[in-house]
A and B are shown apart, each in its own frame.
Chain A
Amino acid sequence: MKSVLAVAEKELKDGLRNRWLIAITLIFAVMASGIAWFGSASVGSVGFSSVANTITSLSSLNVFLLPLIALLLSYHAIVGEDEDGTLLLLLTYPITKGELLFGKLIGQTSILAIATIIGFGSACLSILFFADGVIAADLFSAFGLFILSAILLGMIFICLAYVISSWVSEKSKAAGLALITWFFFVLIYDMGLLGLLVATEGQVHADIFPYLLLLNPTDIFRLVNLVTFETNGTGLLSIASDQSFSLSGLLISMVIWIVLPFSLAYYRLKRRPI
């Protein structure tokens, strides 16, 4: 366990040094505050509207940004160390490949978690202090869940990045694949699903269709932040709104989305030629 923590600490230090942490925190804080105060500018009003609106808008924007940040943070985790020769060296140390990978996950998740908590937390506090008629308990529970699910979403994409990173032999290839992964989950998947729905004129079995959303972690993230509010999702998510997914079920499926890619990354790392 000590080796895991040593690796995690090193990753965190790395993240602090190359200004990743500060950059992400700032992006999150600006994004969250901007949406909280100017989110309803398009409908003609400026100022805080409601917690539900803020969280819904935040989650639809975050779904683009967070996976990209997580992938950029982690795509070189294994292949980068391999290119630098440190992977070869590390494996001669008394540390297993599993400990190495797990340490990296903890360290890089910490970077994302700190940025998420500070960035979105500060927006949450600014709402609490400056907006009128906000119930603190509602605000905290909504933002708490949002931050938790954001961290889980980040972990999912960190693990997906590990799969890529432990598979390929060049850093540039890993970067390309990471971008493709982002593009697929964030843009292509939902569009494809919507296309399928339209093309089949809704012939797809209504009970099955919502579950297809669970195959995309970004959709799960948006669902998590919808189910607590009475509002219906827009677009594809409106289908799932009728189907009542439980919050715990959604969170469990996010955890599965972490465990599976992590195991796959570990399997690939085990077989990676050194």
Chain B
Amino acid sequence: MSIIQLENISHQFGNLSVLDSLSLNLNKGEVLGLFGHNGAGKTTSMKMILGLLEPTQGTIKVFGESPCSSNFNHFRYQIGFLPENVSFYQELTGLEVLQFFAKLKKVSLTRCEQLLQKVGLSDAASRKVKTYSKGMKQRLGLAQAILTEPSLLLLDEPTVGLDPIATQEFYDIVDHLKNNGCSIILCSHVLPGVEKHIDKVAILSKGQLAAFGSIQDLRKQTPLATRINFSGCFDIEKLSNKLGIAITSEDDGNFSIQISSQDKLNIVKTLLAQPGINNLDTVPPSLEQLYRHFVLDESKNKNEEFEKLNCEKINQEPSSDTPKQEKNKKRDAL
């Protein structure tokens, strides 16, 4: 069942287009990683899913209902949200802040203490929020987001300010919620470590969806190389000729090759059949590489188009400019 469905969403602030025909969907129990550079439209998309912003064009359905409609209010009990950079009421204690939010969601106050324990804040529960570190505020934010075992959880930069252990604990909570059928959108700049916790990836670039699908799907769409590391005792030159690929020897005495994902199976078979190889490890392109590929590719394509357009323009307009001036003009235009 589709929990979230975005169809051709566009949004403009005045003349500035923030989102351009964005379509994606999220099913029950899925975790979507939403990635993009600053200003790519991640937070805007989240606000739209939460019904805080109406799209200029397109339709949004969350739990099958438009999030801006007045009927949507009772679904809000099932939604958890952790905004980016939230600073809670400074004069209240952590427990009081959580109890305030619990009252709004009609959650029993005893659950607040349990939750604070779960996010590791029970020692600081009776301290004022203004004494909290960034990481502690982030944990308090997470606690309020999961007050009601939500069916939909939106997390905007959730691991900013968390130490590695707290980050791991955070992902444990995410995995637990996901196993209970919660759909989660995770917005992040920190890509390493996210990979194994997400089912789908959406990469936004300048308000457009540059890529959407499972990590496997995305890997198939790119020519990015898979790396195979192996070690053992064999004739490098012979093997290299057999595979038709150059073998790199690493400093640690291991060897590696870079191959495209289509060739992977055949090459692994060949390597396995090779006597003397005692260890083999395939490393597919990481999320970070995929992200770089899609974001840079997107802007490269756009730049090329732009350049082409400009060149055509310059060619069409016969001018008396010297070549140097023309070059400057082109550079200015770019």
A binds B: yes
Task: Select one of B53, B79, B84, B89 contacting A86, CB under 8 A.
Answer: B89
Inter-chain contacts of B83 with A (CB < 8 A): 85, 88-89
Quick check: is B101 within 8 A (CB to CB) of the other chain?
yes
Residues of A near B73 (CB, < 8 A) are 94, 96
**Which of A12-20, A148-156, A226-234 lies on the face that meets chain B?**
A12-20
From the candidates B91, B101, B103, B106, name the one contacting A14 in the complex (CB within 8 A): B91
Chain B residues in 8 Å Cβ range of A10: 89, 92, 100
- Contact flag A85-B92 (CB < 8 Å), given A6-B100, A93-B105, A95-B104: no
* Chain B 78-92 near chain A by CB (<8 Å), digits 1 or 0: 010101111111011
Of A6, A17, A84, which one neighbours B86 at CB under 8 angstroms?
A84
Query: Are B76 and A94 in touch, CB under 8 angstroms?
Result: yes
List residues of chain A with CB within 8 A of the CB of B227.
none
Q: Please report the C-alpha to C-alpha distance between residue A88 and residue B46 in the assembled complex, in whole angstroms.
A: 11
Q: How far is the CA of A90 from the CA of B79 in the complex (A)?
A: 12
Q: Is B91 within 8 A of A274, CB to CB?
A: no
B47 interface hit (Cβ, 8 Å): yes
Given contacts A3-B104, A88-B83, A274-B53, contact A93 B76 (CB under 8 A): yes
On chain A, the residues within 8 Å of B92 by CB distance are 10, 13-14, 17
Task: Please measure, in the bound complex, the distance between the C-alpha atom of A6 and the C-alpha atom of B106, giving whole angstroms.
Answer: 10
A20 to B89, CA, bound (A): 15
Tell me if B104 and A93 are in contact (CB < 8 A): yes
Complex Cα gap A76–B153 (Å): 29
Q: How far is the CB of B73 from chain A (nearest CB, A)?
A: 5
Q: What's the interface size class on B, roughly? A: 20 to 34
Contact A84 B100 (CB under 8 A): no
Tell me if A14 and B105 are in contact (CB < 8 A). Answer: no
Whether A85 pairs with B104 at a CB distance below 8 angstroms is no
CB of A80 to closest CB in B, whole Å? 10
**In the complex, how many residues of chain A place their beta carbon closer than 8 angstroms to a beta carbon of chain B?**
23
Nearest A residue (CB) for B144 = A89
Say yes or no: is A205 at the interface (Cβ < 8 Å to chain B). no
Chain B residues lying within 8 Å of A86, measured Cβ to Cβ, are 86-89
B91-107: which have CB < 8 Å to A? 91-92, 96, 100-101, 103-106
Judge whether A260 is part of the interface by a CB distance below 8 angstroms: no
Judging by beta carbons under 8 Å apart, are B96 and A13 in contact? Answer: yes
Instruction: Determine whether B269 belongs to the interface, using a CB cutoff of 8 Å to chain A.
Output: no
Q: Which residue of B lies closest to A83 (CB)?
A: B87
* Alpha-carbon distance between A2 and B103 when the two chains are bound, in angstroms: 8
Q: Which of A6, A13, A84 contacts B104 (CB 8 A)?
A: A6
**Is B74 part of the binding interface, using a Cβ–Cβ cutoff of 8 Å?**
yes
Across the interface, do B103 and A92 meet the contact criterion of CB distance under 8 Å?
no
- Listed A/B pairs (26) with beta-carbon separation below 8 Å: A3-B103, A3-B104, A6-B103, A7-B104, A9-B100, A10-B100, A13-B92, A14-B89, A17-B91, A17-B92, A17-B128, A84-B86, A84-B88, A85-B85, A86-B88, A88-B47, A88-B52, A89-B144, A92-B51, A92-B52, A93-B76, A94-B74, A94-B104, A95-B104, A274-B52, A274-B53
Interface residues of A (CB under 8 A from B): 2-3, 6-7, 9-10, 13-14, 17-18, 84-86, 88-96, 274
Chain B residues within 8 Å of A, Cβ to Cβ: 47, 50-53, 73-74, 76-77, 79, 81, 83-89, 91-92, 96, 100-101, 103-106, 128, 144
- 4 closest residue pairs by CB, A with B: A6-B103, A17-B91, A85-B86, A94-B76
With contacts A88-B86, A92-B52 known, what are 19 further pairs, Cβ within 8 A? A2-B106, A3-B104, A7-B104, A13-B91, A13-B92, A14-B89, A17-B128, A85-B85, A86-B86, A86-B89, A88-B52, A91-B50, A93-B104, A94-B76, A94-B104, A94-B105, A95-B104, A274-B47, A274-B52
